[in-house]
Amino acid sequence: MLLLTAIELSSVFIISLLFAYYLYYRYCFTYWKKRGAPQLTPTFPVGDLSTAAWGKESVYLRLQTLYHKFKDAGHKFGGIYFLNGPIYFPVHPDLIKRLLVTDFEHFVDRGMYIDEEKLPLTAHIFSMKGEQWKNVRMKFTPTFTSGKMKSMYNILVQVSQHLIKTLDPVAEQGLEVDIKELLMRYTTDIIGSTAFGVDCNSLDNPNTEFNRMVAMIFNNPSWKLYKMALEEGLQNPGNIIKIAHDNKVVQKYFNDLVRDTIEYRDKNNIVRDDFMNILMQMRSTGMEFKEIVAQAFLFFTAGFETSSSTMSNCIHELAHNQEIQDKLREEIHENLGRESSKYTYDDVLALPYLDKCVKETLRKYPPVAMLNRICVKPYKIPDTETVVEVNTPVIVSVLGLHRDPEYFPEPLEFDPERFSNSNKIAPFTYLPFGDGPRNCIGLRFGLMQTKLGLATLLNDFKFYPSPKSPRHLAVDPSTTTLVFSVLNGVHTKIVKV
């Protein structure tokens, strides 16, 4: 009888605790309403995440849905909740401009996870805060000029020629290929060489140790997301990058790789036109070894999947739009010739139709489909009484903007002419690289490897649709990275021109 009473008491206590927790959540869900901001109807316990919280829908698609709900209701912004955490959610281009540019001093930080002591790989420019970010950004800005890009260009040409040799046997037989997987190996070889000075040889051998590290960074199981959520919470979406950095094996591998590279170059007086050489030169400005490792790691992770995804997504669209593909190939042949090994940096970047095709790909499939910021100074939203408090995360739905029919009619159609000179794009509706002082510092490098890769491929090969990939590529709902990753690869049939 006493045992039964103890069980009953324990049950009452647990139920009471859960009910109190529920009431606390309901109280949290009044945060934006009390501040006079429009909000929707968040649900316990996931807030406005809905099915995205359980991996059944991509968080990017969920944010796109929320974008339209606020916009269609006539609101310029909204207040949303990730679990019980409030997030400022601007949807009107004017407010997005204020966030990124005009009122930047209120939103200097991205709000990304950073812990220099426990996870040194997180201490890179993407996650840095305040004055530390400003100082490092100032040092890095000269690193990504056109001149610096040209100095690395020959490395990209060599890897691009290797890509052609890898695809030749496949094209001779007219076979289908997962072009995304192949182009991920292509960008691995490029960035492995330019960032770390190593020959990854991924195109020939996808099972190298370097590739194994890549898989450990990007292919994380869902339980790691839940582990991170328990440790850090998901109220701040920027915490998600901890997953890719929280691996001691990866940490040791990249530490050893950078140390060996630097020691070898110092000992043998080797100077190479690459990103690692630039980082080594920054030692004279006080940059320490662990900072060099973190910046090189960022250069790799930021440029690896974003560029490969853009190339493979572009090829997918060109396969479904043969007239556009033929027009682009004609531009390449007429202006660059047939010997892709002789394509120059200036000539590739000067191709207007290639530029339009890449921009349209970035519009339909933005590699980073949301922008993160965090409030560092109290901010009164213009023309309202709502104040965004310090430490409140901010999200901009890039996918919502890019696929908004008001700004881009028939948004699922692939139309490079949207970016013709006669067609003016509304400011702050097209943000593939962000905007303002914290825009993507490596955009020149990303565009360089993307455009050269596409020009080289289209010079030699013709692409056709595969039934293995849907007409409009779907977002992988289980992704644990910030990159817009498509589900089940990008399959295409390839033949020689």
- Any bridge partners for residue 133, and if so which? none
Positions at the binding site for heme: 440
Helices (H), 45-178: 59-72, 93-97, 130-140, 146-172
Spatial contact of 418 and 430, defined as CB atoms under 8 Å apart: no
CA distance 6 to 3: 5
- DSSP string covering 245-268, please? H--HHHHHHHHHHHHHHHHHHHHH
CA distance 368 to 364: 11
Within 13 Å and on the Cβ side, how many CA atoms surround 261?
Answer: 26
pLDDT for 224 equals: 66
| Tokens 């009471």 belong to residue | 16
pLDDT for 312 equals: 97
pLDDT for 17 equals: 83
Spatial contact of 388 and 394, defined as CB atoms under 8 Å apart: yes
Positions at the binding site: 440
Q: Which helix (H) or strand (E) holds 433?
A: none
CA distance 21 to 10: 16
465: helix, coil or strand?
A: strand
pTM: 0.93
- The structure tokens listed for 360 are 């349209």
Question: Burial code of 152-191, b = ≥16 C-beta within 10 A, e = fewer?
Answer: bbebbbebbebbbebbeebbeeeebbbbbebbbbbbbbbb
Angle subtended by helix axes 130-140 and 289-320, to nearest 10: 70
CA 297 to chain centre: 14
- DSSP string covering 310-331, please? HHHHHHHHHHH-HHHHHHHHHH
Q: 470-475: long-range contacts at Cβ-Cβ below 8 A with a sequence spacing of 24 or more? A: 471/320, 472/412, 473/313, 473/316, 473/365, 475/58, 475/60, 475/61, 475/369
Q: Which helix (H) or strand (E) holds 194?
A: helix 179-196
Q: What does the DSSP 8-state code read for residue 100?
A: I
CA distance 99 to 181: 36
pLDDT in tens, the chain (497 residues): 455 577 777 777 788 888 888 888 899 999 999 999 999 999 988 899 888 877 788 889 999 999 999 999 999 999 999 988 999 999 999 999 999 999 999 999 998 888 888 889 999 999 999 999 999 988 888 878 888 899 999 999 999 999 999 999 999 999 999 999 999 999 999 988 988 888 888 999 888 888 888 888 777 666 666 666 666 665 677 777 777 777 889 899 999 999 999 999 999 999 988 889 989 999 988 889 999 999 999 988 888 889 999 999 999 999 999 999 999 999 999 999 999 999 999 999 999 999 999 999 999 999 999 999 999 999 999 999 999 999 999 999 999 999 999 999 999 999 999 999 999 999 999 999 999 999 999 999 999 999 999 999 999 999 999 999 999 998 888 776 778 889 899 999 999 99
